[in-house]
Amino acid sequence: MRAHNLALVLDTVATSADPPSRASVAAATGLTRATVSALVDDLIAGGLLTELDPPPRTGAGRPAAGLALTSAGPAGLGCEINVDYLAACVVDLTGTVRQHLVEHADQRPAAAAAALAALGRLAARARLAAEADGLVMAGAALAVPGLVSAGTVLDAPNLGWRDVDASALLRGVPELADLPVVVDNEANLAALGELRVPGAEQTFLYVSGEIGIGAGLVIDGELYRGVRGWSGEIGHVTIYPDGRPCRCGATGCLEQYAGQEALAAGEPRAAAALGIALSAAVNLLDVPVVVLGGAYATYFDRLRDGIEAELRRRVLTAGLAPVTLRAARLGTNAAVRGAADAVVREVRDDPAAWLRRVG
Amino acid sequence: MRAHNLALVLDTVATSADPPSRASVAAATGLTRATVSALVDDLIAGGLLTELDPPPRTGAGRPAAGLALTSAGPAGLGCEINVDYLAACVVDLTGTVRQHLVEHADQRPAAAAAALAALGRLAARARLAAEADGLVMAGAALAVPGLVSAGTVLDAPNLGWRDVDASALLRGVPELADLPVVVDNEANLAALGELRVPGAEQTFLYVSGEIGIGAGLVIDGELYRGVRGWSGEIGHVTIYPDGRPCRCGATGCLEQYAGQEALAAGEPRAAAALGIALSAAVNLLDVPVVVLGGAYATYFDRLRDGIEAELRRRVLTAGLAPVTLRAARLGTNAAVRGAADAVVREVRDDPAAWLRRVG
């Protein structure tokens, strides 16, 4: 009950338009003022809430101090490895990005251990800078372009990884050894990142265009992961059955026509191929919105018309309700942002667990 | 509370291995014997439960009578119109099919009103025969091969229907005028029908092969309908981007290579085309089981090897966990069975509403 009420109070403060007083938190939650005050004191002591200076007295009585999420409390460390870059970022409890580091380099020649050690060093730099700023790392999340199960990367064909214990390798960097690390597919984390942007739709297909192409499906504000967590492999939807061989062993996969390498090489069929795959997804799933992220956010203007032409032609319901196509609001940073957000979200959803850790 | 407890008692009886006594229903539900007895009396009076003859006395005391769902109570009327047949069936509260009528005829030349009047007459025959058998029709559900919204068929390209008020037209037959009629996509209802077969998986993609091809996605025992109820349009997934023109206006749709007309004409690419579309669905959705129904249940042995070869080659995770492919246990009757089941399920889920109707 206390755990539930702590989360309720924290969420009420987080979603208030203006910093609320303890009295207005009590009114909004239906809890007594005494209960709210005790919970707020615990949340302040645990570094989750802060009391803002009261405004100057303008009438009788003591003006109430407003409550807000702290910008100096627990934070999430997001890490991302992709085929051609490493990234790390730190997001605080309010959702603000406090550190963001990117290193561009082809990761394919490196072994998984070396690549993850390099990412660990980058993440450690972000962590140390954030801690110098008063933040406390609650955990880390790692975004990888591949199939993940229980912290292990089962298969990341574009990196050439198989059965890589990515969590352990990342934590091999001494500065990260104390942090819990969760590993997830990059498109899934990116979709969650986009979902957290204020004003985001609650149901959409997020498509991440990198060297590989992945998708994250958000339905009613929840990520649909599939039975084994392997949903969203849109990069391996067949576009031309007898087409180019793909690294996965099949032929004619979307990745071969609309992956970042094909885009950079000016592949004329890129937009059409993407439009065909998205039409398949919309026909199967009935999602009204498609969000293009990763490199697609950069190439959006170039791709848009070609994709929309295919959607109009190939989505059975396009005449009843056109599909909305837009670029990711987080641009190419959605996955690493989503990773850090996922850590923060866990603290926000279960502040009692955080208080036990620091108490 | 009473509505909840009525449903709880009914479900406890329905899912017991042997006909339970009132005392064992009380034990299983945690309700008092007096409460259970009152609820059971109401369910018997409403024609939902029946008390079986007690077994002969073998010792001291009165042997307890066993409770069971009645086979003479409320029943569901399932109706189906497809491009080349009409079907009607009646399912009783125990899930047993009590009537099943099929009329084979090409429905495309007929206007929607004429086709639905013919279906209504077929359904009326099934209803009257079932009522002569002591059943009471709780409602009807109509399966159609098209996009449905609020009882209206927005678009059924293979029938040539647009904006057809199918519910009103079916109820235009005098013998059905008093029945509530819900309208749903045939693949959705067929997927629900398969889900109700004892031993069915809880997560699967059901694919219905008729003149058109539709799919119903069941996740954790629930049908995923999509945002507008238009999910599962696998028949319009593109197989050959520059291929044959489809009735929907696009080119190279699955229906053109693996629809029933292509199968009957011996189309050599049917199995491969179906395998390519199913691979796209599994790559996007991570479903471990694909169930082939409609005409595909009939052609299953002929199609299986070709489909499985594509799944092995094109599903990214096939090496980690092969996709299970099987024929629908309800064969070609899944949709009309699922329609009747859906009506029965509603009575079983909310017996209080039924008791108000008959009380």
pLDDT tens sequence across B273-306: 999 999 999 999 999 999 999 999 999 999 999 9
Helix A270-285 to helix B270-285 angle (10° resolution) is: 80
Q: In A, residues 142-201, which contact B (CB 8 Å cutoff)?
A: 147, 154-155, 157
For residue B150, name the pLDDT band (cuts at 50, 70, 90). Answer: confident
For residue A309, name the pLDDT band (cuts at 50, 70, 90). Answer: very high
Per the structure block, which two tokens stand in for A186? 């990059």
- Cα separation of B131 and B125, whole Å? 10
CB contact under 8 A, B233 and A155: no
Question: Looking at domain A74-190+334-358, does it have CATH number 1.10.10.10?
Answer: no
Q: What pLDDT is recorded for position B57?
A: 59
Q: What pLDDT is recorded for position B14?
A: 94
CB contact under 8 A, B147 and A284: no
What ipTM was estimated for this complex? Answer: 0.90
- Backbone angles phi and psi of A88, in degrees to 5: -140, 145
Q: What pLDDT is recorded for position A188?
A: 96
Q: Do domains A74-190+334-358 and A201-328 have the same CATH topology?
A: yes
Q: In this model, does residue A1 exceed pLDDT 90?
A: no
Instruction: Give the one of B154, B226, B315 whose C-beta lies nearest to A286's C-beta.
Output: B226
Name every chain A residue with its beta carbon within 8 A of the beta carbon of B153.
none
Q: What pLDDT is recorded for position B63?
A: 64
Per the structure block, which two tokens stand in for A45? 């002591």
Q: In this model, does residue A54 exceed pLDDT 80?
A: no
Q: In this model, does residue A245 exceed pLDDT 80?
A: yes
For residue A65, name the pLDDT band (cuts at 50, 70, 90). Answer: confident
- Cα separation of A180 and A163, whole Å? 20
CB pairs under 8 A between A and B: 142
Q: What pLDDT is recorded for position A63?
A: 64
CB contact under 8 A, B228 and A284: no
Å from B305 to nearest chain A CA?
17
Q: What pLDDT is recorded for position B306?
A: 98
Name every chain A residue with its beta carbon within 8 A of the beta carbon of B324.
none
Q: What percent of chain A has pLDDT over 70?
A: 97
- Backbone angles phi and psi of B215, in degrees to 5: -140, 150
Q: What pLDDT is recorded for position B86?
A: 97
Q: In B, residues 210-229, which contact A (CB 8 Å cutoff)?
A: 215, 217, 219, 224-229
Q: In this model, does residue B61 exceed pLDDT 70?
A: no
Name every chain A residue with its beta carbon within 8 A of the beta carbon of B239.
238, 241
Secondary structure of residue B195 in the 3-state scheme: helix
Q: In this model, does residue B56 exceed pLDDT 70?
A: no
The tokens 């990761």 sit on which residue? A107
Helix A2-14 to helix A334-349 angle (10° resolution) is: 130
Q: In this model, does residue B255 exceed pLDDT 90?
A: yes
Q: What pLDDT is recorded for position A62?
A: 62
Output the CA torsion sign for B141, B145, B148, B152: negative
Q: In this model, does residue A31 exceed pLDDT 90?
A: yes
Q: What pLDDT is recorded for position B358?
A: 86
- Cα separation of B315 and A24, whole Å? 54
For residue A242, name the pLDDT band (cuts at 50, 70, 90). Answer: very high
- Cα separation of A19 and A63, whole Å? 13
Cβ of residue B283 closer than 8 Å to a chain A Cβ: yes
Instruction: Give the one of A231, A240, A320 whose C-beta lies nearest to B284's C-beta.
Output: A231
Name every chain B residue with its beta carbon within 8 A of the beta carbon of A272.
241
Q: What pLDDT is recorded for position A358?
A: 86
Instruction: Give the one of A249, A276, A281 whose C-beta lies nearest to B241's C-beta.
Output: A276
- Cα separation of A221 and A198, whole Å? 12
| Average pLDDT score over residue span B76-90 | 96
For A131-167, letters b (16+ CB in 10 Å) and e give eeeebbbbbbbbbbbbbbeebbbbbbbbbbbeebbbb
- Cα separation of A205 and A291, whole Å? 6
The fold of A2-69 is Arc Repressor Mutant, subunit A (1.10.10)
A150 or A183, greater pLDDT: A183
Average pLDDT, chain A: 94
For residue B62, name the pLDDT band (cuts at 50, 70, 90). Answer: low
Residues 6+ apart with CB under 8 A from A355: A6, A42, A43, A46, A48
- Cα separation of A183 and A140, whole Å? 9
C-alpha angle B240-B245-B250 in degrees, rounded to nearest 5: 75
Residues 6+ apart with CB under 8 A from B335: B78, B80, B82, B87, B143, B186, B187, B189, B190, B193, B208, B293, B294
The CATH number of B74-190+335-358, from 3.30.465.10, 3.30.420.40, 1.10.287.3510, 1.10.540.10, is 3.30.420.40
| Domain-wise residue ranges, chain A | 2-69, 74-190+334-358, 201-328
The pLDDT tens digits of the residues spanning B169-210 come to 999 999 999 999 999 999 999 999 999 998 999 999 999 999
CB contact under 8 A, B286 and A231: yes
B183: alpha, beta or left? (left if phi > 0; alpha if psi -120 to 50): beta
The pLDDT tens digits of the residues spanning B294-337 come to 999 999 999 999 999 999 999 999 999 999 999 999 988 999 99
Judge residue A121's burial from the number of C-beta atoms within 10 Å of its C-beta, 0-12 exposed, 13-18 middle, 19 or more buried. Answer: middle
Cα atoms found within 13 Å of the Cα of residue B98, Cβ hemisphere only: 32
CB contact under 8 A, A320 and B250: no
The stretches of chain B forming alpha helices (DSSP H) are 2-14, 22-29, 33-45, 112-132, 166-170, 186-195, 255-258, 260-264, 270-285, 295-298, 300-314, 334-349, 351-358
The fold of A201-328 is Nucleotidyltransferase; domain 5 (3.30.420)
Q: What pLDDT is recorded for position A110?
A: 86
The tokens 């409770």 sit on which residue? B67
Average pLDDT, chain B: 94
The tokens 């149901």 sit on which residue? A203
For residue B55, name the pLDDT band (cuts at 50, 70, 90). Answer: low
| Average pLDDT score over residue span B106-112 | 89
- Cα separation of B122 and B187, whole Å? 21
The tokens 């954790």 sit on which residue? B220
Name every chain A residue with its beta carbon within 8 A of the beta carbon of B248.
316
Contact between B28 and B12 under an 8 Å Cβ cutoff? The reply is yes
Residue B289's alpha-carbon distances to A30, B168, B201, in angstroms, are 47, 37, 8
Strands (E), chain A: 49-51, 67-69, 74-82, 85-92, 97-104, 136-144, 147-149, 152-156, 161-164, 181-185, 204-209, 213-219, 222-224, 289-294, 324-327
- Backbone angles phi and psi of A295, in degrees to 5: -65, -25
Q: In this model, does residue B1 exceed pLDDT 90?
A: no
Contact between A343 and A138 under an 8 Å Cβ cutoff? The reply is yes
Per the structure block, which two tokens stand in for A294? 């990763």
